[in-house]
């Protein structure tokens, strides 16, 4: 499939700068959607950290958190906060702190990974055993797979279908049970892109997050396009019931339930994936993987989904940088590693092909290897990739 055979559902890529640059402080690329580079070649995420995050009075933020929680804490032990969880280190940290440090009564909700890994299931169970009630939603497999394939072909990311439900499901449950407080972990836009609008915000109001999040394309638009253009998608496959959790509840429903928006624990507590790891290991039985996650250098992040590795691989195909760049940049900003070390890590692991679950991926989407590579190559932008001796290589690497 070539670019010309593709629809126009993907809307981030066309807005990216042609010229590739890397941040002088961390190793982030200017190809990351929504990131900004200033005149000194420093990215907005670093600026946010230097000028803002490092100066935050965390004691005062904690006071704000307590005020917020005091307002929502139930007096009869009923559920008073929704915590989207995967059993991973970050959500384990958030849920555990809310319950055991701040006396809340979290109902944890999980939007099932496309395909659970063994370590993911083990950690999920350990998390529940650490003292949490959990609602696990497994979407309609037939629907999920077709949408995954559509997302892969038309958005360059099969994982998008997971992302759709991960946020929305939590809010449906919040509406259903009348729980106004929905607490996520990190604010990705603040931590990784330094999006000025996102930075100083304890929450993103419902209307805003509904608009920003969906790569500029609605589910309805996607399905319509798929039905019209894909031989594997037919109208009778999709009924509104099974599609309910892929889109957020209406603004009216959320307002009626008193939901203000997406809250972030990372606003109140300095967000450090590494410290979340230690905390989760100590308190929630979280176990690192026995080997490095493909595409990065760590063993503790995103362990639960076999399809996750392909998400980061496609990120590298589309934008020229992958998981290692994200992780290493964040660690440089936290002062955990030096830029030099980050460069070494990126050049060693970024964009690594996720071989381990490749066969699972093809089977899940019901595509052949040839079809897979056709799609992959259709997403390579000429300003990012070129062929050298018949092999695809990045035009510019960080140094």
Partner 1 sequence: MSIRIIPRLDVKGSNVVKGVHLEGLRVVGIPSEYAETYYMDGADEILYMDSVASLYGRNNLREIVERAAEKIFIPLTIGGGIRSVDDARALLRAGADKVAINTALFTKPDLINEIADNFGSQCMVVSIDAVLIEGRYECLTDGGRERTGVEVDKWVENAVERGAGEILLTSVDMEGTGKGYDIELVRKVTKSAPIPVIACGGAGCCGDVEDVIKEANADAVSAASIFHYRLIKEMGARSGNGEGNVDFMKRSSGIGGNLRKGIDPVSISSLKQYLHSLGEDVRITGSSKQ
Residues that bind partner 1 (CB under 8 A): 270, 272, 274-275, 277-278, 281-283, 287-288, 290-292, 297-300, 334-338, 341, 344-345
CB of 322 to partner 1, least distance (A): 17
Q: Which distant-in-sequence residues (6+ apart) come within 8 Å of 100 by Cβ?
A: 131, 283
Rank residues 100 and 373 by Cβ distance to partner 1 and give the closer one: 100
CB of 340 to partner 1, least distance (A): 9
CB of 278 to partner 1, least distance (A): 6
Rank residues 6 and 287 by Cβ distance to partner 1 and give the closer one: 287
Q: Residues 274, 335: contact at Cβ < 8 Å?
A: no
> Please, where are the H alpha helices in 13-159?
44-47, 58-72, 89-96, 118-129, 141-155
CB of 91 to partner 1, least distance (A): 18
Q: What is the CA radius of gyration of the chain?
A: 21
Rank residues 271 and 319 by Cβ distance to partner 1 and give the closer one: 271
Largest CA distance in the chain: 69
Rank residues 63 and 270 by Cβ distance to partner 1 and give the closer one: 270
Name which of 142, 148, 118 is nearest 356 in CA terms. 118
3-state secondary structure (DSSP) of residue 321: coil
Rank residues 37 and 277 by Cβ distance to partner 1 and give the closer one: 277
Rank residues 79 and 265 by Cβ distance to partner 1 and give the closer one: 265
CB of 80 to partner 1, least distance (A): 25
Phi–psi pair at 338, nearest 5 degrees: -90, 165
CB of 106 to partner 1, least distance (A): 20
Q: Which distant-in-sequence residues (6+ apart) come within 8 Å of 127 by Cβ?
A: 85, 87, 91, 92, 95, 108, 134, 284, 285, 286
Rank residues 18 and 291 by Cβ distance to partner 1 and give the closer one: 291
The structure tokens listed for 121 are 């299931």
Distances (CA, A) of 132 to 84, 88, 264, 269, 367: 12, 13, 19, 21, 38
CB of 298 to partner 1, least distance (A): 7
Region for residue 115 given its phi and psi (left: phi exceeds 0; alpha: psi -120 to 50; beta: otherwise):
beta
């Amino acid at each position: 499939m070539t670019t010309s055979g593709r629809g126009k559902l993907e809307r981030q890529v066309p807005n990216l700068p042609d010229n590739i640059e890397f941040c002088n402080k961390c190793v982030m690329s200017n190809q990351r959607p929504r990131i900004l580079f200033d005149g000194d070649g420093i990215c907005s995420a670093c600026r946010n950290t230097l000028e803002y995050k490092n100066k935050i009075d965390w004691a005062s933020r904690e006071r704000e958190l307590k005020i917020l929680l005091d307002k929502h804490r139930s007096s009869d032990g009923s559920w008073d906060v929704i915590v989207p969880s995967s059993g991973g280190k970050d959500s384990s940290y958030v849920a555990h702190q809310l319950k055991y440090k701040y006396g809340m009564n979290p109902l944890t909700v999980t939007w099932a990974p496309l395909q659970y890994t063994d370590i993911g299931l083990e950690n999920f169970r350990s998390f529940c055993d650490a003292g949490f009630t959990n609602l696990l939603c497994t979407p309609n497999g037939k629907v999920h797979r077709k949408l995954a394939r559509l997302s892969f072909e038309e958005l360059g990311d099969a994982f998008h279908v997971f992302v759709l439900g991960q946020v929305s499901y939590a809010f449906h449950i919040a509406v259903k049970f009348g729980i106004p407080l929905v607490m996520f972990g990190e604010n990705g836009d603040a931590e990784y892109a330094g999006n000025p609008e996102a930075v100083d915000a304890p929450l993103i109001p419902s209307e805003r997050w509904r608009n920003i999040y969906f790569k500029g394309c609605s589910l309805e638009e996607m399905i319509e396009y798929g039905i019209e253009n894909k031989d594997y998608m037919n109208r009778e496959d999709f009924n509104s019931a099974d599609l309910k959790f892929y889109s957020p509840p209406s603004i009216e429903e959320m307002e009626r339930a008193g939901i203000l928006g997406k809250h972030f624990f990372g606003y109140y507590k300095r967000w450090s994936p590494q410290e979340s790891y230690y905390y989760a290991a100590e308190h929630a039985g979280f176990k690192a993987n026995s080997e490095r996650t493909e595409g990065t250098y760590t063993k503790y992040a995103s362990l639960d989904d076999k399809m996750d590795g392909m998400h980061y691989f496609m990120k590298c195909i589309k934008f020229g940088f992958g998981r290692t760049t994200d992780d290493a940049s964040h660690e440089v900003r936290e002062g955990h590693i030096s830029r030099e070390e980050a460069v070494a890590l990126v050049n060693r692991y970024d964009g690594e092909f996720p071989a381990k679950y490749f066969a699972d991926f093809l089977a899940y989407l019901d595509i052949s290897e040839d079809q897979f590579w056709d799609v992959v190559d259709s997403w390579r932008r000429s300003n990012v990739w070129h062929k050298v001796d018949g092999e695809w290589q990045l035009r510019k690497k960080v140094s």
